A and B are shown apart, each in its own frame.
Chain A
Amino acid sequence: MAEVLALLVALATLTSPRSGWWRFFTLFMALTLGVEITGFYVHYILNRPNNYNVFVPFMLVEACFYTLILYKFLDTVNLRRWLLAGFGAFLLVYIFDLAGTNFMSYSSTSRISLSVFVVLFSCIYYRRLLQGTVLLQPLKYPPFWVVTGLFFFYFGTIVVFCFRSQLIRLPDKGANVRLFLLGALNWILYLSWSIAFIWKRSQIRLSKAS
């Protein structure tokens, strides 16, 4: 539901050519929704317990998209280089992790390393925000909301993925708790993004008017 809401808001606010690269959010949200539906279909309709082969490749798309977002939001060449280096490190973990499991299971290590990557660069973004000399109201600033959504989601999910293997051993309760926690964090992420899209739209309108 949270993904549907964010996609609808993105479609309503970011389709204008003036949105620039922000239009990629619409594409990303559509892709996310498609992956979620496919995962649901594989798990519940086809009755296959493991739908990792849907989510694991998508993790790479997520990482690429988050790198793009943070690349656009970080303003110095040096930090952008570090970001790309961080992405490279994640890529290495991802490949080794998948190779280690012979591409046959969900890679929690990759997921945790993606979380660490996103959380680390979100903190760097916040630091740059505080160092900046421009008078800024973060609550009306779209990049702040995007990064805040990512920060909450990936900071919270570190715990879920750290305990993933233990929770999987508890078939009913474990799955329910995992789904509940991920669902709650999903809402935080996509509500934050929806707010960001709305502010972005408002900024575009203001710049158009002036």
Chain B
Amino acid sequence: MEEKSNSLIQGVIIICSIFTLVAGFLVSYVLYFNKRKNRHYQEKKDMEALFSSELLKTQFETREEALTQISEELHDHIGQLLSSTKMLLGITERSIAQPPATLLTAQETLGKAIQDIRGLSKALNREWLDLFNIIDNLQAEAARINAGQSVSVNLEVPSYNLPLDSNTQIILFRIIQETLQNSIKHAGADHIDISISAKDGLTVIVKDDGSGFNVDEALHNGIGLGNIRRRAKAIGGEVNIISAPGEGTSTTIRLHKTQSI
């Protein structure tokens, strides 16, 4: 009887231990597969981020290549044609004893057009922009727009160079360029203020006195603002746009950390 009860107790303890071990094994299995699943999702996420970054890089390079081609075309072809025309006008002016005022005005206008095209060609050319830092390039861009005399651009920049790599500088410059174009073309602004401060990262504020717009609607319908945001994100930044119809627009670009693409 004693032996029987002992074997029953032993049996219960052994079976209970086996059940507990099986439970432990099942929980370990869940933990192990969850770890594998997490690793798989993390790898997938990393790959998606890498793909997105590569895609953006390709888009950026393609765009820069297209802009450089346009710049070269403007400089080498149209610029040359205009220069030849200006030269011919000069020859005509010198061959006439009393050249008409319209000829002189045409020559002056043509000279201005040649200058504008040179400026635009430089603003579009990546290789040219790479020769200078973003502040020099922005000053040149502001001067180019101010030369048109229809819009005035005021630039407030720090006196020291910004610690940005070449790609980040170009992307940031393109973002500011696109913002300026939006202010001039779409908002019909008369005055644009650009300020750059390098406290706690880098902050660029572009403020205009244009017609303004509904930001929510523009974000859903427009492509330009989406492009600006995507590009800012690619260099580790964010864009905040404050605007309302009739109240101008303020675009703030913040780079917390710079990241190369």
Contact = CB atoms under 8 A, between A and B. Distances in A.
Contact of B12 (A123, A126, A148, A159): A159
Contacts of B22: 155
Contact of B42 (A135, A151, A177): A135
Majority secondary structure, B binding face: helix
A139 B31 contact: yes
Contacts of A82: none
Contacts, number: 68
Contact of A181 (B8, B12, B27, B31): B12
In this complex, the interface size class of chain A, counting residues with CB under 8 Å from chain B, is 20 to 34
A140 to B, nearest CB: 12
Interface in B131-163: none
Among the interface residues B11, B15, B27, which one has the most CB atoms of the partner chain A within 10 A? B27
B9 A174 contact: yes
Contacts of A158: 19
Interface stretch (B33-41, B87-95, B165-173, B216-224): B33-41
B5 interface: yes
Interface stretch (A65-73, A93-101, A160-168): A160-168
Given A156-B19, A156-B20, A160-B16, A130 B26 contact: no
Interface in B172-203: none
Contacts of B15: 159, 163
A136 B30 CA distance: 12
Contacts of B12: 159-160, 163, 167, 177, 181
Interface in B111-125: none
B37 A130 contact: yes
A148 B16 CA distance: 17
Given A129-B30, A155-B23, A166-B8, A181 B16 contact: yes
A129 B34 contact: yes
A158 B16 CA distance: 8
